[in-house]
Chains A and B, each alone.
Chain A
Amino acid sequence: MRIGYSIKQALIQIWRNKGMAFAATLAITAMMLILGVFFVIIVNIDLFTEMLQSNYNEVELFLKDEVTPEEAETMIGTLETYGGVREAKFRTKEEAMDIMRQRWGENSYLLDSLGENPLPNSIVLSMDSMESANNLTEKVKALEGVEDIKYYKETVEKLGRVSNALRITSIAIIAFLLIVSIIIVSNTIKLTVMARAKEIEIMKYIGGTNWFIRGPFLVEGIILGTVASAVAALVTYLIYREVIVLVGRSFMTIMGSPLVPAEYMLNNLLIIFIALGVSIGACGSIISMRKFLNR
């Protein structure tokens, strides 16, 4: 394959068939836009589940009143040897009260009427995953001096199932969209290949090698794929930026998790989309040329 020749020919081909090239690019852009919507949703779902997980992978061990701070420290030492424990911290009843006051905000004056602090001392464990939090509870129950365990078992399990399901679904959707995009590209390239079937036939008669004949079409596919995906990435970014402006705040309030920032999204979109565009274009044109070269 002659790179310089192929690029030049591809550009000439595109220029001479401007209309077709434009239609093809538009079709691929449309496909990539749908892909872009899913991409944006998936990235946000990932962030959302991550945020939720980091909130729920805490296990709080409430200690009996007779446990001294020193005893608590030795317990922490033991706990830290367990698998999955990222951090173990002693929390005094006073700290616990402060946290509660913060959480209650304006209504925290209600806590003033309690008089003596009724909260127990506790050890707060942050776990590296929901699964390890789940595994740990059984072991910790047996420890001396532990009054009770606060752990979002059901929530955590449900969340785990949901996020797994979402991940599998999203991978399936992306795979499906990629296959559809390749088919679309191969069909559009097939149109330009057919428009030049005569040229290809003559090249074969003259003694052009398959790679020489394929070259310009391969480059054409890659150019169309790249342009389309870059446009799709930019459009997705612009729409997403507007969406953030419109619903970003409400989303944060309702879901308790922010949306992924638009700039971060753009970087990812561009890299991933251009990589996809190149491979979609290349695969599409190789598939579409197969039949024509088998002669």
Chain B
Amino acid sequence: MGIIKVIGMIKFENVTKYYNENVGLEHATIHIEKGDFVFLVGPSGAGKSTFIKLIMKEINADEGRIVVDGQDVTRLSSREIPKLRRKIGIVFQDFRLLPKKTVYENVAFALETVHRGKRVIRTRVPAALEMVGIGDKAKKYPDELSAGEQQRVAIARAIINNPSLLIADEPTGNLDPETAKGIMDLLLEINETGTTVVMVTHARDIVDKLQKRVIAIEAGHIVRDEYGDYGYRDYGGLESPQGSIFDEKFTRKAAPAAQHVQARLDGETKQTDSTEKAEDRA
């Protein structure tokens, strides 16, 4: 990849955001290049959501400059926000599909929203569904699909407008490890087509396995930014760390075995804690 010119996708320069007295983000400087795959980790309430909301211009920064795909977000008028968001695809933990629309309609909806014609919809939607691996589910309603399939629909919707940036906010948070692995493979595949991917996650094993760039946020500050592991700290905070998705034996259905494997993976110190969590989930 040495020949490819490195161009900025997301630039935060000394960005600060307060919520009344509380720190959202303080003097944050982050550069994410085009085509990168970045994990965003940190405890709940550390500022990960603030980071994403600032990129989407859901909220405005108090200080500093934010540039997304060459556009100065901090100077964008509210009329120009839709233009910015059309360059960004977003996927959530809870999928956010429309229950009264079919899979096809859910994806077509994203094209309609940006005024794409019928012909574009008719060709692109099936292609996108095929790409995420649910080409045969077009006529189903979301509640007829498994969680993993629903997340695939959400991903198809997020990438249908060919965004240059894909934000995934805990995309595997509601999925069992097996399914999560499939979703990760899909996100990597999308990343390989040149789309920058920023993924917020608490899944230690996913991060450790992929060895991508990891940005850790704590109390509104960037505390670590390097390629490698999830880190020595368990940023999962209150949320449960995922079981290892790369341990083929680990599935949600095999609950007792899962607890055992989970405990082993997390090490002695975490044992009691994660056993509780596994029970909570079960």
Contacts and interface: CB of A to CB of B under 8 A. Distances in A.
Given A198-B96, A207-B85, A209-B82, A295 B58 contact: yes
B98 interface: yes
A204 B96 contact: no
Contacts of B157: 206
A206 B56 CA distance: 10
A204 B86 CA distance: 10
Contacts of B82: 207-209
Most buried by B among A2, A207, A209, A212: A207
B96 A201 contact: yes
Nearest to A208: B113
A198 B98 CA distance: 7
Contacts of A207: 81-86, 88, 113-114, 161
A291 interface: no
Contacts of A199: 98
B1 to A, nearest CB: 29
A96 to B, nearest CB: 78
Interface residues of A, number: 16
Nearest to A293: B78
Contacts of B96: 198, 201-202
Contacts of B109: 202-203, 206
Nearest to A9: B112
A109 interface: no
Contacts of B114: 206-208
Interface string A187-212: 00000000000110111111111001
B50 to A, nearest CB: 15
B84 A202 contact: no
Interface string A209-224: 1001000000000000
Contacts of A205: 56, 85, 90
A21 B90 CA distance: 32
A139 interface: no
A203 B58 CA distance: 13
A156 to B, nearest CB: 60
A16 interface: yes
A5 B112 contact: yes
A203 B96 CA distance: 11
Contacts of B58: 295
B100 interface: yes
Contacts of B83: 207
Contacts of B112: 5
A5 B118 CA distance: 11
A84 B96 CA distance: 73
Contacts of B161: 206-207
Interface string B195-206: 000000000000
24 contacts: A16-B100, A198-B96, A199-B98, A201-B96, A203-B109, A205-B56, A205-B85, A205-B90, A206-B85, A206-B86, A206-B109, A206-B110, A206-B114, A206-B157, A206-B161, A207-B81, A207-B82, A207-B85, A207-B88, A207-B113, A208-B82, A208-B114, A209-B82, A212-B115
Interface of B: 56, 58, 81-86, 88, 90, 96, 98, 100, 109-110, 112-115, 157, 161
Which 9 residue pairs across A and B have the least CB separation, nearest first? A207-B85, A207-B86, A208-B113, A207-B82, A206-B113, A209-B82, A206-B110, A203-B113, A205-B90
